[in-house]
């Protein structure tokens, strides 16, 4: 009987915590407080810091990611690489379903980078490495365009969105992934998750050697082209076509990931305007799920 009740108690406690945070936020007190909240991911409860109003409110979004991570880790054991780690949402999803899996994260926003370090320490997470820079095609210092201090939609790609979409910018360092992941310490890479708001092409090209050597699964967000007649649409489509060509040359198949985690095989990413259809699994031909 107790086992049947426990999941409901966990959800109630989690909801109660979110209500408290919401009340503090509406009262404009949250930016002045340092708190520790709780977040449940795939049945495991993590402690998450709320520091000066910044922090994870929930990691219950994208439930398909939890299931897909478990599938790819079971199909191909090895390290999990998280490109565009933000506040550590994917880190917690990984550690909830595969706690022994090695995690390697990349995050160029210094506030997000420090926050992830706090999440790791607060929960005593093992075998985690975080690098404070972005991945790309070549070493560079670029601008990180953002709309808030921990903006999930921040991008290092100028021209990917209209300038008025962003309210601030800061400098960020970029390195090719091959430069970091070529050492013996990263001999087995299972999966690479890429969520970089338009920089997918640069990240993938900078990982050419890693992809050829390890043949990992790639979980990747590729945002819609929307209008291929517009200048931004043409810009996005050209970058998307480079990704498609790159994948074909290396015998990777393209699958769209549905909201329920189902995989639909595609020949191309295509031109569309559906934000709910921009999550993909790129699977090496010899490792089809």
pLDDT category at 242 given cuts 50, 70, 90 is very high
The better pLDDT of the pair 25, 43 is held by: 43
Say which CATH topology domain 60-287 has.
Rossmann fold (3.40.50)
Distance CA 38, CA 185 (A): 33
What are the helix and strand counts (H, E) for the chain?
8, 13
Identify the pLDDT of residue 34. 67
The better pLDDT of the pair 33, 71 is held by: 71
Quick one: residue 173, left, alpha or beta (phi over 0 = left, psi -120 to 50 = alpha)?
A: beta
Residue 4 has pLDDT above 50, yes or no: no
Closest CA to 279 of 176, 171, 168, 200: 200
Q: Cβ distance 66 to 93 under 8 Å? A: yes
Mean pLDDT value of segment 204-223: 96
Q: Cβ distance 192 to 212 under 8 Å? A: no
- The 10 Å CB-count burial string (b at 16+, else e) for 156-176 is bbeebbeeeebeeeeebbbbb
Distance CA 36, CA 55 (A): 10
Name the percent of the chain lying above pLDDT 70. 84
HEC secondary structure over 93-106: HHHHHCCCCCEEEE
Which residues, 6+ apart, have CB-to-CB distance to 213 below 8 Å?
A: none
Distance CA 68, CA 129 (A): 22
Which residues, 6+ apart, have CB-to-CB distance to 202 below 8 Å?
A: 135, 136, 137, 157, 174
Return the H-helix or E-strand segment holding 185.
Answer: none
3-state secondary structure of 171: strand
Q: By 3-state DSSP, what share of the chain in percent is helix, strand and coil, each rounded to 5?
A: 40, 25, 35
Identify the pLDDT of residue 59. 64
Mean pLDDT value of segment 1-6: 41
Residue 281 has pLDDT above 90, yes or no: yes
Domain ranges of the chain: 60-287
Closest CA to 67 of 93, 95, 104, 45: 93
Q: What is the pLDDT of residues 97-127, one digit of tens each?
A: 999 999 999 999 999 999 999 999 999 999 9
Which residues, 6+ apart, have CB-to-CB distance to 224 below 8 Å?
A: 236, 271, 272, 273, 274, 275, 277, 278
Q: Range with the lowest mean pLDDT among 95-104, 145-154, 251-260?
A: 145-154
Q: Choose from 19-23, 183-187, 279-283 the range with maximum mean pLDDT.
A: 279-283
Distance CA 136, CA 158 (A): 14
pLDDT category at 289 given cuts 50, 70, 90 is confident
CA atoms within 13 A on the CB side of 210: 30
Q: What is the pLDDT of residues 10-29, one digit of tens each?
A: 444 444 455 455 655 565 55
Rounded to 5 degrees, φ, ψ at 115 are -65, -45
Residue 84 has pLDDT above 90, yes or no: yes
Record the pTM: 0.88
């Amino acid at each position: 009987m107790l086992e049947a009740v426990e999941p409901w108690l966990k959800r109630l406690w989690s909801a109660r915590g979110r209500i408290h945070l919401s009340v503090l936020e509406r009262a404009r007190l949250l930016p002045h407080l340092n708190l520790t909240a709780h977040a449940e991911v795939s049945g495991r409860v993590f402690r998450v810091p709320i520091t000066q109003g910044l922090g994870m409110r929930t990691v219950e979004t994208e439930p398909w990611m939890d299931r897909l991570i478990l599938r790819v880790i079971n199909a191909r054991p090895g390290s999990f690489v998280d490109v565009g780690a933000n506040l550590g949402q994917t880190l917690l999803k990984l550690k909830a379903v595969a706690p022994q899996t090695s995690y390697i994260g990349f995050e160029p926003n210094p506030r997000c980078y420090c926050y992830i370090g706090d999440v790791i320490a607060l929960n005593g997470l093992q075998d985690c490495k975080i690098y404070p820079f972005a991945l790309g095609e070549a070493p560079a210092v670029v601008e990180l365009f953002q709309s808030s201090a921990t903006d999930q939609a921040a991008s290092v790609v100028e021209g990917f969105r209209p300038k008025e979409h962003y309210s601030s910018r800061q400098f960020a360092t970029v390195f090719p992934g091959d430069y970091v992941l070529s050492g013996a310490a990263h001999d087995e890479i299972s999966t690479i998750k890429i969520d970089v708001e338009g920089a997918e092409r640069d990240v993938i090209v900078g990982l050419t050697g890693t992809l050829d050597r390890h043949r990992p699964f790639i979980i990747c967000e590729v945002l819609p082209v929307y209008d291929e007649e517009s200048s931004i649409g043409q810009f996005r489509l050209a970058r998307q076509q480079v990704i498609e060509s790159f994948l074909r040359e290396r015998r990777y198949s393209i699958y769209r990931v549905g909201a329920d985690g189902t995989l639909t095989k595609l020949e191309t990413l295509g031109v569309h305007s559906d934000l709910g259809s921009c999550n993909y699994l790129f699977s090496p031909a010899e490792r089809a799920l």
